[in-house]
């Protein structure tokens, strides 16, 4: 977990998002339970025998009007997440991503009881943030973003899991962003989603002539700064292409 100013964050395994449209409140509760447990574990000196869930509860500024029974339930939920995280890997054998989310946002969403549209925005925000990670910006594509929204690290992981094996709520999310009557992700529908994310969730999305697009968070970089960086990358890639073309021609002529 990382902390900044008076804002508290919880870092959680991405696969928890798979519960989003099945039971949004339960998904939020799993994230909070995991965060409280992990922070309590840290504060007690990483000693399982000394864990006091109320320590994490207070540190994360979550209301202390939580019963002892609820904290016991949260500890069990957290241990369930930890057990699954330790046995879950991506298609290339890596551990699953761990995005961050503000505790204040989680609490607001629990109170708000968001509709399907707002849930998709939350998932898009977490997906974007998890792809960017510690970088200032990242080049990605619709498949990658949609996979993260569904709680998978990449679209390869979705395919490995099996689209036909997705639970109904995950399949519904996936189908909503397909071009009607096809299995192709709709550029128009993803563009509409990103327009909402850029308007309300401080996300930047820009593209240039190549495939894919660049995403960033306004807290890390401005659109103009990103434009300068992308231009530099493009010039660098063009220089590399020229060098590769020369080497290939030279090899054939030798």
Distance, in Å, from the CA atom of 171 to the CA atom of 100, rounded to the nearest integer, reads 25
Question: pLDDT by residue for the chain (254 residues), tens digit each?
Answer: 343 456 799 999 999 999 999 999 999 999 999 999 999 999 999 998 899 999 999 999 887 689 999 999 999 999 999 999 988 888 778 888 999 999 999 999 989 989 999 999 999 999 999 999 999 999 999 999 999 999 999 999 999 999 999 999 999 999 999 999 999 999 999 999 999 999 999 999 998 766 899 999 999 999 899 988 888 877 776 666 677 776 777 678 77
Of 75, 94, 113, the residue that ends a domain is: 113
- Final residue of a structural domain among 113, 133, 149: 113
Do residues 90 and 156 share a domain? no
Angstrom distance (rounded) from CA 252 to CA 254: 6
Residues 108 and 119 in one domain: no
Cα separations in angstroms, 156 against 21, 123, 166 = 22, 19, 14
Chain centre distance of CA 158: 15
* Cα dist from 55 to 1, 7, 47, whole Å: 15, 17, 13
The two beta strands, 203-206 and 100-102, are: unpaired
Q: Are residues 231 and 147 in the same domain?
A: yes
The reply to whether 149 and 242 lie within a common domain is: yes
Total of domains in the chain: 2
Same domain, 101 and 180: no
φ, ψ for residue 9 (rounded to 5)? Answer: -125, 150
Q: Are residues 161 and 249 in the same domain?
A: yes
Residue 123 and residue 172 in one domain: yes
75 lies in which domain range?
1-113
């Amino acid at each position: 977990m990382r902390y900044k100013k008076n804002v508290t964050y919880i870092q959680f395994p991405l696969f928890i998002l798979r519960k989003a449209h099945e039971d949004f409140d339960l998904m939020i509760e799993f994230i909070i339970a995991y965060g409280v447990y992990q922070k309590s574990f840290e504060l007690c000196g990483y000693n399982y025998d000394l864990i006091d869930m109320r320590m994490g509860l207070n540190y994360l500024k979550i209301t202390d009007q939580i019963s002892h029974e609820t904290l016991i339930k949260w500890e069990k939920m957290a241990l369930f997440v930890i057990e699954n995280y330790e046995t879950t890997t991506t298609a290339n054998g890596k551990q699953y991503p761990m995005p961050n989310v503000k505790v204040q946002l989680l609490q607001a969403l629990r109170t708000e009881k968001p509709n399907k549209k707002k849930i998709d925005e939350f998932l898009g925000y977490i997906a974007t943030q998890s792809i960017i990670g510690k970088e200032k910006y990242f080049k990605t594509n619709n498949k990658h973003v949609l996979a993260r929204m569904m709680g998978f690290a990449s679209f390869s992981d979705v395919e490995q899991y099996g689209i036909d094996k997705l639970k109904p709520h995950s399949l519904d999310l996936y189908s909503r962003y397909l071009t009607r009557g096809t299995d192709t992700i709709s550029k128009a529908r993803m563009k509409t989603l990103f327009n909402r994310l850029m308007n309300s969730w401080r996300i930047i999305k820009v593209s240039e002539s190549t495939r894919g697009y660049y995403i960033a968070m306004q807290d890390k970089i401005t659109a103009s700064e990103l434009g300068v960086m992308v231009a530099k990358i493009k010039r660098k890639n063009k220089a590399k292409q020229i060098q590769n073309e020369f080497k290939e021609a030279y090899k054939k002529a030798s």
